[in-house]
Structure 1
Amino acid sequence: REAIQLAKRMEEFDPFWFEEPIAADDYEGHRRLTEATTIPIATGENEYTRYGFRDLILRGQIPILNADAIICGGVTEFMKIAALAQAFDVDIAPHGPQEIHIHLVAALRNGLILEFYRDTVDPMWGKIYRHTLTLNDDGTVSPPDVPGIGIEPNYKALAPYRVE
């Protein structure tokens, strides 16, 4: 009920989406919220299985999923979730590490947006990988031109945090 009240108050500002307003497994709550507001609801960063995402789509009527390849079972499982979402005209806006998700969202017909972290969010973010992504002047991000998925840890930067 509180999420519906807040959504109604936010509608005049026309937000792009309302993210994670209620628990991921409250499918009935998601359905009620989606029906009660004009703001698209985005959720899924706290969902871990394709079956949970299926229920968010079918029972919760969610228009935008924030799947995270790190927590939902890896790249293959993420792509299965994205294919399921595409079958129901649901967009994917991945949550989490942009270095992993840039390739995935670029490969999707229903890829909506890439979450992008700047160093100001977490000072270590721009140091933990050898090849970091940069935000282009036009607001886009280009995938790395290195082999594979493009993630190579910066072991030198991570060394002070090593635990034995």
Structure 2
Amino acid sequence: MTGIKTIEAGHFRIPLSVILSDSTHGQITAFELITVRIRDGDGAEGVGYTYTVGRNGGAVADILRREIPELIARRDAADTEAIWHHIWWGLHYGGRGGPVVLALSAIDIALWDLKARRAGLPLWRLLGGFDPRVPCYAGGIGLDLSVEALLRQTDDNLAKGFRAIKMKVGRPDLASDVARVAAMRKHLGEGFPLMADANMKWTVEEAVRAARALQPYDLTWLEEPIIPDDVAGHARILAAGGVPIAAGENLRSLWEFKTYIAGGAVSYPEPDVTNCGGVTSFMKIARLAEAFNLPVTSHGAHDITVHLLAACPNRSYLEAHGFGLDRYIEHPLVLEEGKAIAPTRAGHGVNFDWTGLAKLAV
């Protein structure tokens, strides 16, 4: 393989057709897409991306344009592990998280896409291959919806083929959360996979109380009940609340996941490939979870993550996120009987509508 020749970053603001809401971010009217296109000396291309929920995308794009190119210019694009470490340590003092790791994630995704394309393989097969049919849930984002509107959103997701649903909790009063979960459970029926996401809203004691109140409704998991920095708090909630805990979308490295997993603080580790360090880190996190006999789930970027979970024997559910990027992708995620189907196209198979995106450039 020839060396890396060009790196092109893009920054776009994608308006949402439906306003989203959760307990900490409030109302979300748009999200930022930050892309990177890497080409080698033969003209082969790999594409990666990351995103934000409306802020700091400029910082990520700036790192991709100003800092990273000189670190990896002319390096062999096949050396994903070496390049990952070179960027990590090259930007370490001002990094270890935040925009730096989002930029690193996008670069790493692009390099793995390029590697799989050159091999003529879909990414999930290059990563080992396990099962291209991945259980998938709809990540509903609508804390402010009325119960009636929430159930209509759920019916719409069921009509699309989803056979697992996640809803938001974390309203000002616990009784309202419990009533909404109870309504969802009654609507979906016993045994239907239902998750609830608090988006870091509570204190530890509030979360324990909430978990106990929600216990009768058979949640698959309660997600991010408290701030991600409190590992011991997550362990207490898991031990005292009686409900499985999913967490990890706000963790930024393999080592942060190690602390959670070894500390008994999580039931479903939940990395996001666009902010945990890319494909390289995601797969290490998944293998670490496997060593502890834990199922791994995911956050965001379902069009890429379907490949990663299709290569993991300990995968649980893929999250299908509600950010509406499908409008700008040639081949949106395919769902069959509640399973997301990993594509057979070479690479990760995400082909952006660059002309359409250009109109949204920041």
Percent identical residues: 37
Q: Name which of 2, 6, 11 aligns with 2:215.
A: 11
Q: Name which of 118, 126, 135 aligns with 2:335.
A: 135
Q: Which has the larger radius of gyration?
A: 2
Q: Name which of 332, 340, 348 aligns with 1:149.
A: 348
Following TM superposition, by how much is the alpha carbon of 1:126 offset from its aligned partner in structure 2, in angstroms? 1.4
1:81-160, aligned counterparts within 5 Å?
81-117=285-321, 121-122=322-323, 124-136=324-336, 138-160=337-359
Name the amino acid aligned to 1:134: V
1:70-89, aligned counterparts within 5 Å?
70-89=274-293
Q: CA contact under 8 A between 1:85 and 1:92: conserved in structure 2?
A: yes
Q: Distance in 2 between matches of 1:42 and 1:113?
A: 11
Q: Distance in 1 between matches of 2:215 and 2:284?
A: 33
Following TM superposition, by how much is the alpha carbon of 1:68 offset from its aligned partner in structure 2, in angstroms? 0.7
Q: Deviations over 1:66-85 (max 9, x none)?
A: 10111011101110111111
Structure 1 counterpart of 2:59: none
Name the amino acid aligned to 1:151: V
Name the amino acid aligned to 2:292: F
Q: Which stretch shows the higher mean deviation, 34-43 or 57-66? A: 57-66
- Give ranges in structure 1 of 5+ residues lacking alignment: none
Q: CA contact under 8 A between 1:131 and 1:144: conserved in structure 2?
A: no
Question: Stretches of 4+ moved more than 3 A in 1?
Answer: none
SS at match of 2:260: helix
Q: Deviations over 1:108-135 (max 9, x none)?
A: 0111011113xxx34x421122111132
Structure holding more strand per residue: 2
Q: Distance in 2 between matches of 1:154 and 1:20?
A: 33
Q: CA contact under 8 A between 1:127 and 1:157: conserved in structure 2?
A: no
Q: CA contact under 8 A between 2:271 and 2:297: conserved in structure 1?
A: yes
Q: Distance in 2 between matches of 1:66 and 1:45?
A: 6
SS at match of 2:359: helix
TM-score, length-normalised on structure 1? 0.91
Q: Distance in 1 between matches of 2:344 and 2:296?
A: 23
Structure 2 counterpart of 1:51: 255
Following TM superposition, by how much is the alpha carbon of 1:156 offset from its aligned partner in structure 2, in angstroms? 2.4
Name the amino acid aligned to 2:211: A
Q: CA contact under 8 A between 1:29 and 1:60: conserved in structure 2?
A: no
The alignment's C-alpha RMSD in Å is 1.2
Name the amino acid aligned to 2:335: L
1:60-79, aligned counterparts within 5 Å?
60-79=264-283
Q: Distance in 1 between matches of 2:328 and 2:251?
A: 25
Q: CA contact under 8 A between 1:44 and 1:66: conserved in structure 2?
A: yes
Q: Which stretch shows the higher mean deviation, 45-54 or 55-64? A: 55-64
Q: Does 1:2 align with 2:206?
A: yes
Structure 1 counterpart of 2:233: 29
